[in-house]
Homo-oligomer: A and B are copies of this chain.
């Protein structure tokens, strides 16, 4: 669709009261003050205008028809206004008015959508803060007027959008386009992401979301955008209190935060935790060249702040290692002998313009990004030092960031550096946060290319089949089904009476494990239905008797027997179904450690082999798998293959609601599922 009518309309009608103090008049005034150059009209029953803006009682009275209607009239009138738009032939509307699904009034919102569909109208809102196109001087919004620039801002919450615009204005960070989509009844975040990904005036997209109904569609949109330009995301509702408030705020269920986290990462977007971080990062992205690696050179005229920045950098996974001997030798020639050359390079309080310029240029031969720190005092010439940093940025072509403080003394230097693409942050730590995030964007964007695409989902779904077995699926049925689908399971015997027990055990070889099979028993250990380490025939007979008793009064289908597996690391592989994102695959430490350490990582399913490898290496206890203290390394490669294959199953078997393989016995060679539980979707 064409967004021109929203962001660059030739003519606009504001629908609402023009009486003083009413939103209609406030809005018209803001649009006029913003410098809008197109034709502007006011629509209300009294046909009241506002200043030079003419008033009409009906849209159809205006000739030629306005391209966009911005509606602030009371909620009860909005449906009729939209109907009038449709009849008159206006096909774009922004509905700022609130009082729809966000307060439980779903029916009224549905009617708006039906009217719009009937006439081919597209609209933003309701319950939104409007939009803005700063370079075009068009501000149909009640929020702060931002200066023009290169950051596009899309916000589910109007107020949060306003916060960002206010801060951005204060920092002098320019905005290209702004839109708050509110309830998103028609146009929603995905539409704006696709539009902005193609918008040449927007170099970075800042996004605030609370929840979306179609998580996969969000991922597709984020992935498309992130390939073209950075998308920086604040997603709220991370913890219990947050989720509660979000639910009552937007009237839609928020998915688990861990799932959103996985989805945003897999899409190559960058998630931040605060508005401050959002703006810091947008400023970095639009100003500095890309950060292509993890090696950070810090040059400072002050030890303490240099150390704090280096600490933070290493916490975030950047490398602040020492320069090579030859590089140190090179710097030693032109730097005074009391300078430390270890990284941070400490020029001391006597650091000069030449010192900053040359040491940054030397360091950036070996490092991927530079950070220049300067603590100024009133008797030092900061502007010269800033010039040294700016020159180094221009000559090296590499990303350099600065923290020149205190702000009162460095205004001129700061402006000079800004012109050279060097952003000045109020602390070294904040600069380091930006550098780490910019580095992560480039590296995760290339990962995002690897994740299994929608074609895989389509291919798998086209071969969808029903889940075999009963309801619930019994353990032997589930093991058969896993084996059929390429997941390695141990040999097993299902025995239903005592006479078969010894033969089955001998075929498998002692020692064995025996478990109860009954559709009535979900937690087998809790009823004494699992007996391990059975060493001989007599123990086996006794074990079967105890297993039978454990199911007393229940639908007893027999016992399943496996050979004992020893010396394995127990891991967990799981599937669940998120209301917004659909199938999600989990991997983590298994057995009793699953609950104790919660060392589990998530991905949106399906995942490819590369992604499975990355996922496995993300758990904190990875050393247990790769070998430690006399423990042999485990077959992580086979595990990755199984994990990737398992992540495909919910598409081939769409009836799966949840599936847990826990424990999976991971061996030095190969792996075996130790227990399985599959839960069907309730129909």
Contact = CB atoms under 8 A, between A and B. Distances in A.
B304 A160 contact: yes
Contacts of A301: 159
Contacts of A502: none
Nearest to A208: B304
A342 B246 CA distance: 11
Given A305-B159, A628-B592, A169 B408 contact: yes
Most chain B beta carbons < 10 A, residue from A234, A311, A429: A311
**Which among A240, A245, A409, A597 has the highest number of chain B CB atoms within 10 Å?**
A245
A242 interface: yes
A427 B592 contact: no
Given A408-B170, A427-B275, A620-B597, A311 B238 contact: yes
Interface string A270-293: 000111100000000000000000
A621 interface: yes
Given A249-B303, A406-B144, A274 B429 contact: yes
Contacts of A166: 405-409
A340 to B, nearest CB: 4
Interface residues of A, number: 91
Given A245-B342, A375-B162, A597-B597, A429 B169 contact: no
Nearest to A301: B159
Contacts of A98: 349
A459 interface: no
Contacts of A376: 162
A497 interface: no
A244 interface: yes
Contacts of A156: 304
Contacts of A631: 592
A457 to B, nearest CB: 31
Interface stretch (A315-323, A384-392, A443-451, A557-565): A315-323
A304 B597 contact: no
A141 to B, nearest CB: 9
Interface string A487-515: 00000000000000000000000000000
Nearest to A29: B379
16 contacts: A30-B378, A144-B409, A159-B302, A162-B375, A167-B405, A236-B311, A237-B307, A238-B311, A239-B311, A242-B310, A244-B322, A245-B344, A248-B340, A250-B303, A526-B630, A596-B624
- Which 8 pairs of residues, A with B, have the shortest CB-CB distance? A166-B406, A157-B304, A159-B302, A160-B304, A249-B303, A241-B320, A242-B311, A241-B310
Interface of A: 26, 30, 98, 103, 142-144, 155-157, 159-160, 162-163, 165-167, 169-170, 208, 210, 234, 236-242, 244-246, 248-250, 273-276, 301-308, 310-315, 320-322, 338, 340, 342-344, 346, 349, 375-379, 405-409, 426-427, 429-430, 525-526, 592, 595-597, 620-621, 623-624, 628-631
